[in-house]
Chains A and B, each alone.
Chain A
Amino acid sequence: MTTLLQLEGVTRQFGGLKAVSGVDLSVAPGEVIGLIGPNGAGKTTLVNVITGVHRASSGIVRFDGEDVTGLKPFQAARRGIARTFQIVQPFPEMTVAENVAAAAMFAGAVRYGDEANAEALGHLRFVGLAEMADKRASSLTLAMRKRLELAKSLAMRPKLLLLDEVNAGLNATEVDHALSLIRGIAARGVTILIIEHLMKVVLSLCTRIVVLHHGELIASGTPQEIVQDPRVIQAYLGRRYAAGGEAAEGQSHG
């Protein structure tokens, strides 16, 4: 199989506003693909359509060879599509371990009880939260919550992981840590679609970047190609990149 996720003419309208408009996109297994675009371009909406939170107004979403358009979120999750929220959403009154165990159990099909707990602990160790396992999720700092969010999505044993601004609000050191986590996940063979405004993240992680603008795909290519694309600079990257992509990269802010 050459494509894991295939979008054909996906459109989502809110009243008169086409938040996502005729998007065609195919993602190959193992790819780490960046989705960027100006604020309000429709990135989150696209993720919402893929995960079943919003129904596509028209178009088809295929995953793993099957038509998954219109599936409920939990069904999408069980098929192997996991996502993180732009605003993190843990179960606040549960322990960190329980949060991850829930994901393992319901989406990852791990048995309730010790098995799920063991699995949860494994993922927590991977993201470096093992010592917080018995703390309530509400007591975590933002950076920890983002890592918890990652651990949860891993526990879902996803084939495709959709990361919506997982690095927003982290400082540079923390971003570095998160990057290595994401690389680790990619190394396990999970296909990743990442939305991010921090260019250094996108540029250093992604094999390919697609750009959304006014709901439409306006560009797709390697990081190099994208940072030099005048339309992308005009619509998204701004003056720092106007001089020339490579030079700008070093001092790019996030």
Chain B
Amino acid sequence: SMAQGTIRIGAPLPITGPLSPEAKKLQNGMNLWVETANKAGGIKVGAKKMKVEIVYVDYQSNTPRAVQATEKLITQDKVDFLFSPFGSGAAKAASSVSEKYEMPTIAATASSEQVYDQGYKYLFGVYTPNQTLTEPLADLVKKQAGGVQRVAILARNDLFPLAIAQEMEKSAKKRGMNVLYFEKYAIGTLDHASALSQIKAVAPHWIFATGYINDLILIKKQMSDLGIEAPVVTMVAGPAYKEFVSALGKSAENVTSAAWWHPAVRYTSKDVFGSTENFNKMFHAKYGTEPDYGEASSAVSGVVLQLAIEAAGTLDKKAVRDALAKMNTMTFFGPIKFGPTGQVVSLDPPVFQVQKGRQVVILPAGIKQGDLQLGVK
């Protein structure tokens, strides 16, 4: 690869199968970064600039195949660096392969601490741990909706949704709230009416539901159908996507959520994008829409890798790995500094709420576009 003067980065993605929409988002972000970096002449490796290229491999939304694809990228395609497969589960599974080959790997979409607590040295993730989503949210609710005492949590029994629900439980309890209902639902559940009827019966002030977008659309729809109302309804990770709002219309109003990034944040940086605003603009020019957090996190994965290579001044894996570990820098995504496990610790994930059909940032205070509205029907 050095010979051709191109840096090759392997990206095993779920291009087909149930997760393919996610792969699309990741590709959007990664492609924008590659394009931008190459337009600027490439990545500076010591004295010379090298073009960069991403080698995508489909793993069919199937975790064992993700592991296999990762190994294929390393051994057959001889890539220089790696991006992790999508989500916490697959990233965790594939991380053992990159660790085996001592291959610096950036995880764009893995937040659960269980991914990083394996003692691996080559895995770095740009999402802060899950509790960083629930903590500020709980703070906000505690402060601005004083009466909120009774909490109900419904979580998909799956790595990420479950982990974040457990964090939510902790955050709520820490603030003296009562978690009156905590249940998991199985993957593939077609009906939540029973769970929701029970939730209705405990008359919660705060309903917290996790899952993927289809689960959450279904849950919210059934909540409206069953006439379940609450001052605060939080859902992770559906509302960040446009489809959530368009599928639910009015009943999406006032649903709160949190994510690691939001196009309303504002940072100025020395990376290829220069600033959040500029990133948004370039993204819009290329794809015609606003970026969401997945698209931004995949772009920043490239940015982070680029900064590390440039700091190391070489493509040597060990050196780049060390540069990543030492990194303390600002990007369009926010400040990036990795903790001892390799997970970013420097970000303040924004909290937002669907208001009048738009995702409006309500926290952190510095970038907020509106205030928390109570009452979800």
Direct contact of A and B (CB under 8 A): no
| B residues with CB within 8 A of A | none
The interface of chain A, by Cβ under 8 A from chain B, is none
